[in-house]
Structure 1
Amino acid sequence: MAKITYIEHDGTKHEVDVANGLTVMEGARDNDIPGIEADCGGACACSTCHVYVAEEWVGKLPAKEAMEEDMLDFAFEPDPNRSRLTCQLQVTDALDGLVVQMPEKQI
């Protein structure tokens, strides 16, 4: 289980426990966190679960695979270092304390 903080674009924070084995996207969906639409349901076929990872977490996450990189090209204002698709981040104990911020909108 990991405690993950989701920050809406307006600064509203949601700190929730997410079970290991789920994705960060599923944690948002299951806890009704606004700002992550997840239109493709986690298939890495859109960019509607795009977030900006807190700077201190960038180097702690697994590297982006090619498909995620491709989908981030369609995201709203992607950041080359901090942007991630939450459907590609599987929750483990190592993600305890992760902080992600939603963009102004999802495309």
Structure 2
Amino acid sequence: MTSQSVCLTLIAPYELRGELFDYIAEQTDLVTGFTASEVAGHGTRIRLRSAAERVKGHADEVAVQIVLQDKDFEQLLERLKSAFAGTKLIYWVVPVKTFGVLD
């Protein structure tokens, strides 16, 4: 049976950017790399933490996407839950049909 790839997406407050990036980069047994971008959080569950965010009407956040094996995602998620308890990180996981590098 072959292992299925998945994409784990994390959404975190921008203030956690450095700490989150460092933590993910340290998980070399599970993560070979990741992609990150700045995003604007909208919705009733989003906390606007500063006056600037309240004026803009959205929260400054960072999105991280990690493609990894299905068997590894649960272990990484458990580590993240422990390391970032109370931070209200948002996450979702979707299957990846194919993954590769164009050479």
- For normalisation by structure 2, the TM-score amounts to 0.34
Higher strand content, 1 or 2: 2
Q: Which has the higher helix share?
A: 2
TM-score (norm 1): 0.33
Q: Which has the larger radius of gyration?
A: 2
> 1 or 2 for the larger relative contact order (CA 8 Å, sep ≥6)?
2
